Structure 1
């Protein structure tokens, strides 16, 4: 991909093996913190820890069925339950939970970012970008994950330049996170006069 710069400079961004890397990379999931004790908080903590086993999803379901939760915590619990489904590649079911969260509380950015991640898993890259953008606009607890996911979507759309910049932003926001650094290694940036 070429970009025109002042003084007739061209920059070319190339991603090597983008399709293979996309499949291997996986998306980053953003959990929602729920406090106050009880099953909803336990569900939240398991999602934050990176758990994926079905029993954690069941914990969220029990919380939704049996606990009195305000709108934010109920929406957050739907997001967290969707994250467990997302981690097990149950994309359609995950999207349903993210949709429920958005209907309850349309300002929870993580619901949009994760819906975008599910769309990436379904190879619906063009649909994922506006979802992730909406999540970033609303604000999320872990924006690095949103930029990482958007980079994956851009790679799926064969927009190497945008993917490169989003991986860089993810690394800038969370320098200790190895995933964006590993993706950036695949890129080659060259400049030539034109």
Structure 2
């Protein structure tokens, strides 16, 4: 529209690791608890993944803890950038507990890693509706997906929402610094969104 301003994002900011890894607390000791601790600690080790698998196969878990253990094993796979395998675990977690917000936000992260940006948006929306524990990560991931879908306005809005929720988060500030307001008749540079979502 002539005379109106446009938001544009410039430059490439390389990000490390997958987005939105939000572990599920499983208490009471045992393998499921150890799996939870490993996921929260950022592990990507096969040994920790096997602890989660052993819990799933041998421990008597209530549906929430079983779903949480699938989420936590998926997070370990996310940390290892094995997005398709992580996606399968998040799908299983949702089958056990369809209202587990962390399963959706992490499934969105796996989908972003698989470049399934449109599909990730509904998962992030579900996570926010279900009151995910760290909504700033959900907004950040949704911003990344919007950027890849060439929707700079919604990306900018979501980065700003993430910053409102986590004002000291330097990564969000770095992302917002890439945005400028430009007249639409100016030559627009190529937008290069982040290569990977945030962990």
Q: How far apart, CA to CA, are the structure 2 residues paired with 1:72 and 1:136?
A: 19
Q: Deviations over 1:93-117 (max 9, x none)?
A: 1111001100000000111111111
Query: 2:192 maps to which residue?
Result: none
1:176 to 162, 168, 171: 168
Distance 1:35 1:11, change over 3 A: farther
Runs of 4+ in structure 1 deviating by more than 6 angstroms, as ranges, are: none
2:41 to 49, 61, 70: 49
Q: Please say if residues 8 and 180 of structure 2, whose CA atoms lie closer than 8 Å, have aligned partners that are also in contact.
A: yes
- Long gaps (5+) in structure 2: 185-199
1:135 to 105, 127, 139: 127
Q: Please say if residues 17 and 81 of structure 2, whose CA atoms lie closer than 8 Å, have aligned partners that are also in contact.
A: no
Q: Please say if residues 18 and 78 of structure 2, whose CA atoms lie closer than 8 Å, have aligned partners that are also in contact.
A: no
Aligned length: 184
SS state at 2:127 partner: helix
Q: Please say if residues 43 and 56 of structure 1, whose CA atoms lie closer than 8 Å, have aligned partners that are also in contact.
A: yes
Query: 1:15 maps to which residue?
Result: 9
Distance 1:146 1:24, change over 3 A: same
Deviates more, 1:97-106 or 1:177-186: 177-186
Deviates more, 1:148-157 or 1:49-58: 49-58
Q: Please say if residues 91 and 122 of structure 1, whose CA atoms lie closer than 8 Å, have aligned partners that are also in contact.
A: yes
TM-superposed CA distance for 1:26, in Å, is 4.3
TM-superposed CA distance for 1:180, in Å, is 1.3
Q: Please say if residues 129 and 150 of structure 1, whose CA atoms lie closer than 8 Å, have aligned partners that are also in contact.
A: yes
Q: Which has the higher strand share?
A: 1
Q: How far apart, CA to CA, are the structure 1 residues paired with 2:106 and 2:3?
A: 38
Q: CA RMSD in A?
A: 2.1
TM-superposed CA distance for 1:177, in Å, is 2.3
TM-superposed CA distance for 1:25, in Å, is 7.1
TM-score with structure 1 length normalisation? 0.86
1:117 to 103, 109, 117: 109
TM-superposed CA distance for 1:188, in Å, is 1.1
Query: 1:104 maps to which residue?
Result: 96
Q: Deviations over 1:150-186 (max 9, x none)?
A: 1110011011111111111112212232221221111
SS state at 1:13 partner: strand
Q: How far apart, CA to CA, are the structure 2 residues paired with 1:170 and 1:93?
A: 28
SS state at 1:10 partner: coil
- Long gaps (5+) in structure 1: 3-7
